[in-house]
Amino acid sequence: MYGNQAIAQPPEETSMMRLIELARELTSVLDREINLLRQLEISSIQELSEQKAQLTEEYRLQARELQENPGFTESLEPRLRDELEDVVDRLSETARANENALKAAMDAHDRVFRAIAGAVEAQRREASGYASSGQHSSDQPGSAPVSLRINESL
């Protein structure tokens, strides 16, 4: 029955393996978010945000737990240390790319918002004309306001 028995791992190794798993999952979510941002699939991005927040918090807690145990890496196999270094580097790289993609999407959203607001203002001025007093009718009390609603989900 030796083949069916699980070999007990030291708690630090188990924690390290969980941290590696979390880093991979979080990297995957960030990659998916980057692709959705590029495709402007905003509704799908919102679905990922909860998963991203949950993974980020769990990763942070797991990393803090391991950091509170100084010297834990010395007891680990070199293969596991190398794997951790690789996944953390990949996560950092992906997080930077994700941040850049989010900034680009927000900038694009802001430009679109300003263009729409400018077009509405121009249309309002064009449609309003002049009153009998010679004053622009949009400056008259009681002139019709223009209604505008923008979805600012990013």
Q: Average the pLDDT over 116-145 and give the result.
A: 65
In angstroms, rounded to a whole number, what is the distance separating the alpha carbons of residues 105 and 103? 5
Instruction: Tell me the whole-structure pTM to 2 decimals.
Output: 0.67
Span 45-104, pLDDT tens digits:
888 888 999 999 999 999 888 888 777 767 778 888 899 899 999 999 999 999 999 898
Q: Residues 95-118: what's their mean pLDDT?
A: 88
pLDDT at position 149 is 62
Backbone angles phi, psi at 147, to 5 degrees: -95, 135
Domain boundaries, the chain: 10-102
